[in-house]
Amino acid sequence: MPEPSPTDVLAEAVGADPSTANQEKLWSATFSLERWWFVQRGEPDNPQPFVGVNNDQPFLMAFTTAERARGFAVANGLAAAGDEVEVLALTPTDAVAQAPVWLQQGIAAITFDHGTSGYFAPLGNLPAIRSHVADGI
């Protein structure tokens, strides 16, 4: 098992104590990432991020590293172990800018590192979360 990432440790802390301070640390670390990674679906000229379903709600599946996105794709049958897995990389700023489009498509939330730490937020909350933690970034 790979070493837990900083966001894994922070997500575990939020699970144990969902205080505002712990939530702020987790989301500050998430928005400090250079890129958010997504398993690519769709056509090469119109790539889209993979959307999963959790409790009958569509969730955007985001990952903190490209390796985690690839591992998710293989573990969930989206690609064979030996296949090349296409991934999308967006800056957190670009992902927040794209959130209204995803909301219009009916996507309810974004989850990070599903199968590892699996923390999430409603897509519509991303701009407010980013704004709230921006001072710490």
pLDDT for position 128: 94
Residue 81 inside a domain? The answer is yes
Count structural domains, the chain.
1
Residue 1 inside a domain? The answer is no
- Three-state SS for 36-98 is EEEEEEEECCEEEECEEEECCEEEEEEECCHHHHHHHHHHCCCCCCCCCCCEEEECHHHHHHH
- Report the share of the chain in percent with pLDDT over 90: 75
The CATH number covering residue 100 comes to 3.40.1350.90
> pLDDT tens digits for 22-42?
999 999 999 999 999 999 998
Which structural domain, as residue segments, surrounds residue 117? Answer: 6-136
